[in-house]
Amino acid sequence: MWKLWSLALGEKAHKRDQVADKVAIIRTIIFLTYLITNIFICANAIRHWNDNTKIYIQIDGIKSGKTL
């Protein structure tokens, strides 16, 4: 499974397996930081999707606006 994952990250970085494995670990860490960052960005966009919704209430000819 590790060989498949390391090849999915890109070409083999070195002839020696130890060095290539270290490079694959660094690439995995970089990939995980990108993934986590994108999850937080999407969650924030979903959380604040309709924050500027306004409700207008009209009482006796006076128009009042309230932001939720």
Task: Using alpha carbons, select from 33, 34, 10, 14 the residue that is nearest to residue 22.
Answer: 14
More confident residue, 7 or 53: 7
Q: 50 vs 16, which has greater pLDDT?
A: 16
* Number of domains composing the chain: 1
Q: Is the pLDDT of residue 10 over 80?
A: yes
Query: How many angstroms separate the first and last alpha carbons of the chain?
Result: 50
Owning domain of residue 40:
2-67
Cα distances (angstroms) measured from residue 20 to each of 28, 31, 32, 44, 46: 12, 16, 18, 36, 39
pLDDT at 57 over 80: no
**pLDDT band, very low/low/confident/very high, at 30 (cuts 50, 70, 90):** very high
